Amino acid sequence: MERWFLYAGMALCLFSLWAIARHDWLRLTRPARRVIGEVVGHRIHRDSDAPSYAAIYRFTAEGAVHEVHDAVHGSRPGPPEGHCRELTYPAGHPELARPPRPLLWGGVYGGLLLMLGLLAAKAAGLLPE
């Protein structure tokens, strides 16, 4: 019965890696372009009791003006309107621009890979009881 839970955990880790990597595929396979985006507002998302805020950035790239919403929400609106911040996007896809957060995404991918490795080692009998 324990093996079934280990295999289910490994399947869940693999599915999670696939789910986030398919959205990051262009970012992982194309050269990154950098632009400066200006905060022009905040998107408000109401979930349960408290609202959360995500910055809306406007920038010019590849001959057009683009607006993107930050994927990371906070309990307060920030950064303030008018603030400029560096954004990165995969070449040819400025609609995918976002502030670079290598430690955040490295931690997500690293944590999933670590969990997958630990579950596989346990299933292979390499970890003590």
For β-strands 84-90 and 50-61, DSSP reports them as unpaired
Each residue's pLDDT tens digit, 69-111: 998 888 888 899 999 999 999 999 999 999 999 999 999 999 9
Residues in the chain: 129
d(CA 35, CA 80): 18
Each residue's pLDDT tens digit, 13-54: 999 999 999 988 998 899 999 999 999 999 998 877 789 999
Mention every residue, 6+ apart, whose C-beta is less than 8 A from residue 62.
92, 94
State pTM to two decimals. Answer: 0.79
Structure tokens given for 58? 């406007």
For the cut 80, the answer to whether the pLDDT of residue 2 exceeds it is yes
